[in-house]
Amino acid sequence: MEIKKVGVVGCGIMGGGIAQVAAQAGFEVVASEINETLLKKGLGGIESNLKRNVEKGRMKPEEMAAIMGRIKGTLTTKDFGDCDLVIEAAVENMELKKKIFADLDQVTPKHTILASNTSSMSIIDMAMATKRPDKVLGIHFFNPVPVMRLIEIVRTIATSDETIAAGQAFAKALGKTTVLAKDTAGFIVNRILSSLMATAVRMYENGVASKEDIDTAVQLGLNHPMGPLALADLVGIDTCVAIIDTLYNEFKDPQYIVPPGMRDMVTAGYLGRKTGKGFYDYSKQ
C-alpha cells in the first residue's frame, strides 16, 4: 500500500516533530490539536525549527515554505478522512488513546493504517477499540524527532504483514532506521532506558554522587550523548514516571519501581525543561 497523506493526532513536541519530518519527506500532512492555542503553538514550533535550518544554511527559504505548505492544522478528526496513515501522538493515557482510535476508525477509509507513537503502552489494547486490528501498529519515534534516526515498529498479534511492511516503508521514506519489536511494555529502548534512569535517580537520591557527576559518568563512560538525569528533564519527568509505572505494572520487576523523589517532582510540577525546572534549573535559559 502506498502512503501519500499522513495524519498526526497531537501537535506537541512529538506530534509536531512527526508532522515536520513527514512534510520534509514530501508527504501531505494533517496535524490536529484539542484547541486553537495548542495548535498554533505546535505549528509555530515546526516553523521555528525550520527557520533555524534556514538560518544555518541547511535549507533554502523556498524549501521551508514548501514544507509548511504541506502541513494543515485542524481541530477535528474529520479532516483525517482522506489519510492513508494516521499516527496518534497524544499524552500517555490509555483511555484517551482508545477513544482516539475508535474515533479514527469511524472517520478514516478502510485502507487507512492507524498507528500509535506511544513509548510504552499496549498497542493491542488500542487496536481492539477499532474494527481493523490488522491495520494497527506502533510507530514509535524518539525525541527530538527531526534528529533521532530510530523508529521502533511495534507488531501486535493481530497486525498484518502488509501493515508492518507499510510502516517500515514509511519510516524508510523519512530517512529513519527501524527495529521491529513485540507488543510488550516499553518495547526495546524504553525497557532498557527506564531501568537505567530509575537506577541513576536512586543513586542520586542515596547520595552516591551528584547529578552532574552521574550524568558525566554515563556520558563519558558509556558514550551516551547526555546523562540519564538530563535526559529525564528533556523527556519530561511526568512522562518518565508514566513509562516506568507501565513497565512495573507489566513485569512486577523492582528495577521498574519509580523512585519516590520523581513522584514528588511530578506533584510539585518540576517536570523538566517544559516547566523550567527538573533535576536541573532551566529558568534562566
Task: Give the chain's largest Cα–Cα span.
Answer: 56
The verdict on 178 and 194 lying in the same domain is: no
| Final residue of a structural domain among 161, 182, 203 | 182
Q: Is 61 in the same domain as 154?
A: yes
Query: HEC states along 196-228?
Result: HHHHHHHHHHCCCCCHHHHHHHHHHHHCCCCCH
Q: Which pLDDT score, from 0 to 100, does residue 209 have?
A: 98
Lowest pLDDT segment from 37-41, 220-224, 281-285: 281-285
Mean pLDDT score, 23-50: 97
Does residue 198 fall inside a structural domain?
yes
CA–CA–CA angle 137, 141, 144 (5° rounding): 165
Query: Do 31 and 57 share a domain, yes or no?
Result: yes
Give the end of a domain, one of 142, 165, 182: 182
Question: In this structure, are 144 and 241 located in the same domain?
Answer: no
36 shares its domain with 171: yes
Q: Give the pLDDT mean for 37-55.
A: 96
Whether 178 and 195 map to the same domain: the answer is: no
The answer as to whether 134 is a domain residue is yes
pLDDT bracket for residue 277 (50, 70, 90): very high
CATH no. for residue 67? 3.40.50.720
> Is 7:85 a contact under the CB 8 Å cutoff?
yes
- pLDDT tops 90 at residue 221: yes
pLDDT of 284 reads: 82
| Domain total of the chain | 2
- CA 29/CA 75 separation, integer angstroms: 14
Residue 69 has pLDDT above 80, yes or no: yes
Which pLDDT does position 213 carry in this prediction? 98
Statement to judge: residues 159 and 200 lie in one domain: no
127-179 per-position pLDDT tens digit? 999 999 999 999 999 989 999 999 999 999 999 999 999 999 999 999 999 99
pLDDT mean over 110-116: 98
Q: Do residues 22 and 157 share a domain?
A: yes
Q: Which range of residues forms the domain containing residue 114?
A: 5-182
- Mark which of 135, 156, 182 sits at the end of a domain: 182
Do 26 and 117 sit in the same domain of this protein? yes
> What backbone phi and psi angles, to 5 degrees, belong to 45?
-65, -40
Q: Are residues 105 and 76 in the same domain?
A: yes
Q: Based on the domain organization, do 44 and 170 belong to the same domain? A: yes
pLDDT of residue 83: 98
- Alpha carbon distance 16, 203 (integer Å): 34
> Which residue carries 506533584 as its cell?
267
Question: Pseudo-torsion of CA 225, 283, 213, 269, nearest 10°?
Answer: -90
pLDDT at 280 over 80: yes
CB atoms within 10 A of CB 208: 11
> Mean pLDDT, to the nearest integer, of 173-200?
97
Joined grid coordinates for residue 17: 516533530
Q: Is the pLDDT of residue 202 over 80?
A: yes
Does residue 54 lie within any of the structural domains?
yes
| pLDDT confidence of residue 43 | 97
User: Which stretches does DSSP call E strand in the chain?
Assistant: 5-9, 28-32, 71-74, 85-88, 113-116, 136-140, 150-155, 177-182
Same domain assignment for residues 161 and 202:
no
pLDDT surpasses 90 at 285? no
Mean pLDDT of 77-82: 96
Cross-strand bridge partners of residue 177: 150
Q: Tell whether 281 is covered by a domain.
A: no
Short-list 208, 230, 207, 206, CA closest to 218: 230
Please give the positions annotated as active site: 119, 140, 152, 190
The contacts of residue 2 (CB under 8 Å, 6+ apart) are 84
Comparing CA positions, the residue from 72, 58, 78, 61 lying closest to residue 22 is: 72
pLDDT per residue over 1-12, tens digit each? 789 999 999 999
Beta-bridge partner residues of 114 = 86, 136
**Which pLDDT does position 143 carry in this prediction?**
87
